[in-house]
A and B are shown apart, each in its own frame.
Chain A
Amino acid sequence: MQITRQERVGTLVVRVGGELDVRTAGAFRDKVDELVAASAQQRVVLNLSRVTFLDSTGLGAILGRVRRWKERDRQVVLVPPSGVARTVLDMAALGRTVAVYPSERAALGEVAGIDG
């Protein structure tokens, strides 16, 4: 699992790649919570487009992050993975609780659009 971040004006982009599953979910949770806590940006784009495998534990960790960050008044936007990992994400009806965009560019455009 790889996690990188990029600070933009008003937005923190967190990019996750690799396998997000029962083995890696704990490290994912700790790392991205730390990145978000350390960032002053109010909006978070969680880019999962390079996630290659997602199981129910990884899904739970994603849902938990979205919930936690929203509770801390962050605006959360999500870029989903593709293939079966996307199906797994969709089965949680995530679209009801968080905005989902087809690409990071679209997510950033939308986030900027909300503000300006």
Chain B
Amino acid sequence: MADGARAVMSMDPWLEMALPSLPESAEICRVTVAVFAAALPFTLDELEQLKVAVAEAVGNCALHAYPTRAPGRVQVRARLEAGGVVVEVQDWGVGIADIALARQPDYTTSPDPDHVGMGFTFMEQFTDQLEVESVPGRGTLVRMRKEPAAAARDRR
């Protein structure tokens, strides 16, 4: 019984979704992840910030990951871990050759003058931690972590 209890205790809640790389998926994912993360004491504004960050990551998949064979597969995983939420957005698309460049504000590969290249800026701004792994031709993994500001404050 002790073992069973420990197993349950150590099992952080998680969420997994697989979707097509379409704009609609950005909406589905941001709403679902926000509902999932609402188990933590986030403020409404923090949940809105999380929604923007998730929407940007999934939106990037819809806009850039599969230029010639859209829609491709997008996988979104979220888990509650050490008082925060970790969200991973993965695709198996074209990848990013220069991640540092792609993360620069205003950088965009799109010829559309309406594309502002702020996606990574918003992911960075609205989460506590952002990691991007990518292999050209193989795909991209974006990992974001966000904690409720109240929880971060209580620990200090």
Residue B116 contacts which of A19, A21, A22, A56 (CB distance < 8 angstroms)? A56
Segment of A9-17, A34-42, A59-67, A101-109 in the binding face: A59-67
Q: How many Å lie between the Cα of A116 and that of B11 in the bound state?
A: 67
B118-146 contact mask (Cβ, 8 Å, vs A): 1 or 0: 11011001100000000000000000000
List of A residues within 8 angstroms of B4 by Cβ: none
Q: Which residues of A contact B56 (CB under 8 A)?
A: 55-56
Whether B114 pairs with A55 at a CB distance below 8 angstroms is no
Is the contact region of chain A dominated by helix, strand, or loop, or is it mixed?
A: helix
> Among B45-53, B73-81, B86-94, which stretch is in contact with chain A?
B45-53
Q: Which residues of A contact B122 (CB under 8 A)?
A: 55-56, 88, 91
**Interface code A55-86, partner B: CB below 8 Å = 1, 0 otherwise?**
11101110110010000000000000001110
| Residues A56 and B119 in contact, CB atoms below 8 Å apart | yes
| Per-residue B-contact encoding for A3-45, CB less than 8 Å = 1, 0 else | 0000000000000000101110100010000000000000000
Cα–Cα, bound, A21→B29 (Å): 13
* CB <8 Å contact, A25 and B45: no
A62 → chain B closest CB, angstroms = 9
Please, how many angstroms separate the alpha-carbon atoms of A63 and B118 in the complex? 12
Instruction: Please list 19 pairs of residues, one from A and one from B, whose beta carbons are closer than 8 Å in the complex, sorted by A's number.
Output: A22-B23, A23-B26, A53-B48, A53-B52, A53-B55, A56-B56, A56-B59, A57-B59, A57-B115, A59-B116, A60-B115, A60-B118, A64-B113, A64-B114, A67-B113, A83-B48, A84-B48, A84-B49, A92-B116
* Other 18 A-B pairs with CB < 8 A, given A23-B26, A56-B121: A22-B23, A22-B62, A23-B27, A53-B52, A53-B55, A54-B52, A55-B56, A55-B122, A56-B59, A56-B117, A57-B63, A57-B115, A60-B114, A83-B48, A84-B45, A84-B126, A87-B49, A92-B116
